[in-house]
Structure 1
Amino acid sequence: MKKPLIIGIAGGSASGKSSISAQLKERYEQSGSVVIIRQDDYYKDQSEKTMEERVKTNYDHPFAFDNDLLVENLQSLLKGEEIKKPIYDFVNHTRSSKTEVVKPSDVIVLEGLFILEEEKLRSLCDMKLFVDTDADVRFIRRLIRDVKERGRTLDSVVEQYQTTVRVMHNLFVEPSKRYADVIIPEGGKNSVALDLLITKISSIIKENMV
């Protein structure tokens, strides 16, 4: 197998990164040529902290992530080695005891808040995308997601957004847009951008089969 292509997808919280990743996974699920690696699964383990301490963690700061492990895992995949990817438990605010085995693939889709902000991750990406979605749309999506899927209260989501999410986005996420090769407005709803991305991935997979 030739060296896998790494596509980095960055953008604000609930901007549509996961939507793009999910559509790519669905498109290539049968071929098994694309794997999705989410930076969210690489939040640092907090099992030794109390729940009160975990809740106070700033999850929207780059320091919240174990990027060294993420880089190590990506380098293993690039060498054709399978990895045991961590899984994060968003209800209990710590790393799950379970892991997921990820096998090498032609294309690795790497998505997360700080994929372009972190130089070590950015340098591994062959294609760098930034999903650019209006702040009000991102907030509404995040509110619905965190209440329905992550067991949060409405008040806690609003407070977190006001105290950390918005501030960290302006400090770290938004400036990383300058590193993007392609900016995709509105995430997975941008069918034109998605079609172009699929065309590029398909051509790479075809080349690797030669």
Structure 2
Amino acid sequence: MENILVIGIAGGSGSGKTTLTTRLAEQFPEEVTVIRHDDYYKHYEDLTLEERKLLNYDHPNAFDTELLIRHLMELKQGRPVECPVYDYAVYNRSGRTRTIQPRQVVIVEGILIFENRSLCDLMDIRVFVDTDADIRIIRRIQRDVVERGRSLESVIGQYINTVKPMHEQFVEPSKRNASIIVPEGGCNRVAMQMLLSQVRSHLRGED
């Protein structure tokens, strides 16, 4: 495939980047494919569940970003990839993969995708979703307790020990690599319309 548009959507945990990604993809179900950095958490087969729970999942070293880069390059060349599938319940890869097909627009989503320069260089548009910390922690608690089966104590402990300090050390500074900063993610109608317009122009061959 030629002239694939790659959009990176980053931001802190609970910022609304997944909502923005989902709403964009829903508008163009046949033309957009999504690849998520979270699925590229490293595989820890030699660690017990309790040991895996203690790992820092908000540090760049927690991700196999090199594999994501290779997969994104394959998609840009028009070739499908086998993406790992992460299982939040066991804090590890599931052992399964899912096939991601190359399409005219590829959205890459994750908290740290702008931290890596080589990954950034593969993106045509880099969107950073900027949301107040209080809102982000509330959303994270709701998501992890309800959707991922975590205890409230574990979510708060992880936020204090790793999420907040890693956000300040890595995620927030990566904002300088963004081409667009969007307050409130998918709830920002003006930003959403701008991105939709960019995608439509690309699909019409106007960029």
After TM superposition, is the score higher than 0.5? yes
| Corresponding position of 1:148 | 146
User: Do structure 1's residue 10 and structure 2's residue 41 form an aligned pair?
Assistant: no
Encode CA deviations 1:58-81: one digit per residue, 9 max, x unaligned: 001000000011001001101110
AA aligned to 1:123 is D
Deviation at 1:47, TM superposition (A): 2.2
Equivalents in 1 of 2:3, 2:28: separation in Å? 18
Query: Aligned to 1:141, what secondary structure does the other structure show?
Result: helix
| Corresponding position of 1:24 | 24
AA aligned to 1:64 is A
| Corresponding position of 1:182 | 180
| Corresponding position of 1:41 | 39
Q: Which 5+ residue runs of structure 2 have no aligned equivalent?
A: none
| Corresponding position of 2:56 | 58
Deviation at 1:206, TM superposition (A): 1.2
Deviation at 1:2, TM superposition (A): 1.6
| Corresponding position of 1:70 | 68
Encode CA deviations 1:132-183: one digit per residue, 9 max, x unaligned: 0000000000000000111100000001101110000000000111111100
Equivalents in 1 of 2:95, 2:52: separation in Å? 17
Moved over 2 A (4+): none
Equivalents in 1 of 2:113, 2:4: separation in Å? 17
Kindly indicate whether the alpha-carbon contact (under 8 Å) linking 1:3 and 1:79 is maintained by their aligned counterparts in 2: no
AA aligned to 2:180 is V
Deviation at 1:96, TM superposition (A): 1.1
RMSD: 0.9
Equivalents in 1 of 2:99, 2:129: separation in Å? 28
TM-score if structure 2 supplies the norm length? 0.97
Kindly indicate whether the alpha-carbon contact (under 8 Å) linking 2:2 and 2:77 is maintained by their aligned counterparts in 1: no
| Corresponding position of 2:189 | 191
Equivalents in 2 of 1:11, 1:110: separation in Å? 12
Equivalents in 2 of 1:45, 1:87: separation in Å? 10
Identity across the alignment (%): 48
AA aligned to 2:24 is L
